[in-house]
Amino acid sequence: EDQVTQSPEALRLQEGESSSLNCSYTVSGLRGLFWYRQDPGKGPEFLFTLYSAGEEKEKERLKATLTKKESFLHITAPKPEDSATYLCAVQAYGGATNKLIFGTGTLLAVQP
Amino acid sequence: DAGVTQSPTHLIKTRGQQVTLRCSPKSGHDTVSWYQQALGQGPQFIFQYYEEEERQRGNFPDRFSGHQFPNYSSELNVNALLLGDSALYLCASSDQSEQYFGPGTRLTVT
């Protein structure tokens, strides 16, 4: 069964303190791995799509990387406005849809 | 360019009632997916619509049904509401691979 596990569940950082979030996945055939940011009570905001092992993408203070078993979201010198829940999701090959299978997210709090 | 829009924003219903949620996809997108997100959990796939047909359903009972209109907008209907149906209901639209989410509808069942 396709599955996504994110760790840690929660992370508290000081402003400027870099760290990484982990997303481990088990999928029959990976079509794509997605990172979203979600603020409380709002819909997920698309950040990155990664398609193959070794791929990396960057946006401002965020960098996402992908291996055959996991993805990391690296946050460099975070600011308080980076505080949010970060969700990881996978799409698998096969089936009629491109449905997303999500992890439970990492709640990030960045303190000034 | 308007993104994905959903209505209403919030809704309070009583057990046993029925509810209809609405979604308008991002311009140029023809596929709409619905997800349920319970508090503290990741979104769970309900079903997806393409060309006005339901393409696939997740592990949700028949009380959950939907519809897609010729303009690609979509509705999610839930009958015989249970307390456990309380959640944030998210609509996502896509054309090829990447899915873009709306702000969600917060449903509370009392």
pLDDT in tens, A49-75: 999 999 999 999 999 999 999 999 999
Query: Residue B2 burial by CB count (10 A; 0-12/13-18/19+): exposed, middle or buried?
Result: exposed
Separation in Å, CA of B94 to nearest CA in chain A: 9
User: Residue B9: is its pLDDT beyond 80?
Assistant: yes
Please report the pLDDT score of residue A1 as a whole number. Answer: 84
The verdict on B102 touching A (C-beta cutoff 8 Å) is: yes
With CB atoms and an 8 Å threshold, state whether A42 touches B44. Answer: no
User: Which tops the pLDDT comparison, A109 or B2?
Assistant: A109
With CB atoms and an 8 Å threshold, state whether A43 touches B94. Answer: no
User: Which tops the pLDDT comparison, A99 or B82?
Assistant: B82
With CB atoms and an 8 Å threshold, state whether B99 touches A87. Answer: no
Please name the residue of chain B whose CA is at the shortest distance from the CA of residue A46: B100
Separation in Å, CA of B68 to nearest CA in chain A: 15
User: Which tops the pLDDT comparison, B96 or A59?
Assistant: A59
pLDDT, chain A, mean = 95
Please report the pLDDT score of residue A94 as a whole number. Answer: 73
Q: Cα separation of A25 and A68, whole Å?
A: 9
With CB atoms and an 8 Å threshold, state whether A101 touches B90. Answer: no
User: Residue A93: is its pLDDT beyond 90?
Assistant: no
- Please give the sequence-ordered ranges of beta strands (E in DSSP) within A1-112, or none if there are none: 3-7, 10-14, 19-26, 30-38, 45-50, 56-59, 62-66, 70-75, 84-92, 101-102, 106-111
pLDDT, chain B, mean = 95
User: Which tops the pLDDT comparison, A1 or A45?
Assistant: A45
User: Residue A96: is its pLDDT beyond 70?
Assistant: no
Best mutation target among A99, A101, A107 (most B Cβ atoms within 10 Å) is A99
Residues 13-52 of B with CB under 8 A from A: 31, 33, 35, 40-45, 48
pLDDT in tens, A8-54: 999 999 999 999 999 999 998 899 999 999 999 999 999 999 999 99
Picking from B43, B56, B97, the nearest residue to A32 by CB comes out as B97
Q: Which chain B residues contact residue A2 at CB under 8 A?
A: none
Mean pLDDT for B79-104 is 93
User: Residue A95: is its pLDDT beyond 70?
Assistant: no
Which single residue is written with the structure tokens 């209809």? B20
